[in-house]
């Protein structure tokens, strides 16, 4: 209660774009639980990709309407819903003017690197959807809520794997006797990861030109499925992707171990990335909202908690399997991607910790419970979807269609 006026302070209003997806759904529930006023904006295109490609989440997921109804019946909290495409400016403008957000969290992009490398049309779709969607969000903020804080999901993959330490967004360079702090060089390695670089440039420019306040969260690979809120009821379960297009490294390995499929290490397996638990994704986003960037500031946080190579992940999952009596094999799959398989990697990630992030590190117990979770749903796994099917080198202009 506000002590001077005796009134409840008005809750911060947060628009979550992409709120029906993996990170977005967990974040929407977490923020709603913390008494933020939440609106989900989503065009449900992700559910459509699953249908098109014949994929499905490991966990059965309810429709967005049933999810929100169940949340209301359990908690008496309302989540507002706007179904539509952020590339459609009229729709986005309507959502902005009716909801009047104080902060916008933007998860609503095509987020799979393999999907963006299927064929020309998917590459073009990915960059159009992501770059133009973000541009529309920037225009909506300028036009309708100038003070609104943009919290944008970027990726650690924007930086690539340079042979020097990775800083948080900016690097101070001395060149020919003069010194400046400049955006850290970007070397992304898929049309998807490149879309995030293009977004970062557009956001940085509008912060300077229009005084937009923005935080770019360069997130690492997310793992896990449960959060305090999604485990309250099966209709609140989050999606869990394990297939070769949308599944990500550690989540895939747990499902592979659960069904007795050898772990698919691409190439030499020295590929090192930053990783984080989905419970930390929701925490980081809340910290960014609670500590907004200043007007005109383009702030960059590296959002991950630990670094692992693919080989390290495979060996951790093998050990966790042994404890559950599952024998886990690993195979080296010819790498479908073009990427360094042995490289230096040391990325800074202190800014979110300084704001108060308390990481859930990948302990044995978490890995055991994730593996158990995968075992629980293993009858739903379509093992044909596990091997990678998209080649960075073979991408062409001919549309790829799925055969039965």
Residue positions annotated with a catalytic role: 155, 192, 196
- Is 215 an interacting residue with respect to ligand NAD (CB under 6 A)? no
Beta carbon nearer to ligand USQ, 67 or 273: 273
Instruction: Using the minimum distance from each CB to ligand NAD, give the nearer residue, 131 or 207.
Output: 131
User: To which residue do tokens 């977005």 refer?
Assistant: 24
CA distance 328 to 256: 9
Question: Which of ligand USQ, ligand NAD, none binds 105 (CB below 5-8 Å, type-dependent)?
Answer: none
Among ligand USQ, ligand NAD, none, residue 273 binds (CB under 5-8 Å by kind): ligand USQ
Please, which residue, 23 or 320, has the CB nearer to ligand NAD?
23
Please identify the residue of the shown chain whose CB is closest to the bound ligand USQ: 157
Contacts with ligand USQ in 162-201 (CB under 6 A)? 193
Interaction partner, residue 351 (ligand USQ, ligand NAD, none; CB < 5-8 Å by kind): none
**Residue 248 in contact with ligand USQ, rule: CB under 6 A:** yes
Q: Which of 14, 16, 140, 221 binds ligand NAD (CB under 6 A)?
A: 221
- The β-bridge partners of 172 are 181
Residue labelled with tokens 């440039």: 201
Residue of 38, 35, 40, 27 whose CA lies nearest to 9: 35
Candidates 46, 152, 213, 252; binder of ligand USQ (CB under 6 A) is: 252
Which residue from 12, 28, 32, 43 is in contact with ligand NAD, where contact means CB under 6 A? 43
Supply the minimum distance, in Å, between the C-beta of residue 157 and ligand USQ: 2
Please answer whether residues 352 and 296 qualify as being in contact, where contact means their C-beta atoms are separated by less than 8 angstroms: no
The residue among 95 and 258 lying less far from ligand NAD, judged by its C-beta, is: 95
Q: Could you give the string, one character per residue 260-279, with x where binding to ligand USQ holds by CB under 6 A and - elsewhere? A: ----xxx----x-xx-----
Measured from the Cβ of residue 180, the count of other Cβ atoms closer than 10 Å reads: 10
- The least distance separating ligand NAD from the CB of residue 82, rounded to whole angstroms, comes to 9
Among positions 162, 169, 220, 321, the unique one binding ligand USQ when judged by CB under 6 A: 220
Q: Is 114 an interacting residue with respect to ligand NAD (CB under 6 A)?
A: no
Report the sign of the C-alpha dihedral through residues 401, 24, 92, 139, in that order: negative
Does 155 contact ligand USQ by CB under 6 A? yes
Tell me which of ligand NAD, ligand USQ, none is bound by residue 24, counting a contact when its beta carbon lies within the kind-specific cut-off of 5 to 8 angstroms.
Answer: ligand NAD
Stretch of residues binding ligand USQ (CB under 6 A), selected from 116-124, 125-133, 154-162, 224-232: 154-162
Nearest to 224 by CA among 16, 47, 387, 368: 368
DSSP-derived pairing of the beta strands 306-309 and 79-83: unpaired
Give the chain's largest Cα–Cα span: 66
Determine if 108 is a binding residue for ligand NAD (CB under 6 A). yes
Q: What is the DSSP letter of 347?
A: B
CB of 156 to ligand USQ, least distance (A): 3
Which of 37, 56, 85, 158 touches ligand NAD (CB under 6 A)? 85
Number of residues assigned to the chain: 404
Which tokens sit at 234? 């099966």
Binding site for ligand NAD (CB under 6 A): 17-18, 20-24, 42-46, 85-87, 107-111, 129, 133, 153, 155, 219, 221-222, 248
């Amino acid at each position: 209660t506000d002590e001077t006026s005796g009134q409840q302070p008005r809750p911060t209003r947060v628009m979550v774009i992409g709120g029906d997806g993996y990170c977005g759904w967990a974040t929407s529930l977490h923020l709603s639980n913390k008494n933020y006023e939440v609106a989900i904006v989503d065009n449900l295109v992700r559910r459509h990709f699953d249908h098109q490609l014949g994929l499905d989440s490991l966990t059965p997921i309810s429709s967005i309407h049933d999810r929100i109804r169940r949340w209301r019946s359990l908690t008496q909290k309302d989540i507002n819903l706007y179904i539509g495409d952020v590339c459609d400016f009229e729709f986005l403008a309507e959502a902005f003017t009716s909801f009047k957000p104080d902060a916008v969290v933007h998860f609503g992009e095509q987020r799979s690197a393999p999907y963006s490398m299927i064929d020309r049309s998917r590459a073009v779709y990915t960059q159009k959807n992501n770059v133009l969607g973000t541009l529309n969000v920037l225009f909506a903020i300028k036009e309708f809520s100038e003070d609104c804080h943009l919290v944008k999901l970027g990726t650690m993959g924007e930086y690539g794997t340079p042979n020097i330490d990775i800083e948080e967004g900016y690097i101070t360079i001395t060149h020919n006797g003069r010194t400046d702090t400049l955006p850290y060089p970007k070397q992304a390695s898929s049309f998807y990861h490149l879309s995030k670089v293009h977004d970062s440039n557009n956001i940085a420019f509008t912060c300077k030109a229009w005084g937009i306040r923005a935080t770019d969260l360069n997130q690492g690979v997310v793992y896990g499925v449960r959060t305090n809120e999604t485990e309250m009821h099966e209709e609140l379960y989050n999606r869990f992707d394990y297939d070769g297009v949308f599944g990500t490294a550690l989540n895939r390995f747990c499902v592979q171990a659960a069904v007795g499929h050898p772990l698919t290490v691409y190439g030499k397996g020295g590929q090192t990335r930053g990783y984080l638990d989905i419970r930390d994704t929701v925490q980081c986003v809340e910290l960014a909202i609670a500590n907004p960037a200043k007007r005109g500031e383009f702030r960059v946080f590296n959002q991950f908690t630990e670094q692992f190579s693919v080989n390290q992940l495979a060996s951790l999952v093998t050990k966790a399997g042994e404890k559950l009596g599952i024998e886990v094999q690993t195979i080296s799959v010819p790498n479908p991607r073009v990427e360094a398989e042995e490289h230096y990697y040391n990325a800074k990630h202190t800014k979110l910790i300084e704001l108060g992030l308390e990481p859930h590190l990948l302990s044995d117990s978490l890995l055991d419970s994730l593996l158990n979770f995968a075992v629980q749903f293993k009858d739903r796994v379509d093992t044909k979807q596990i091997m990678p099917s998209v080649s960075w080198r073979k991408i062409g202009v001919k549309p790829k269609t799925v055969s039965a």
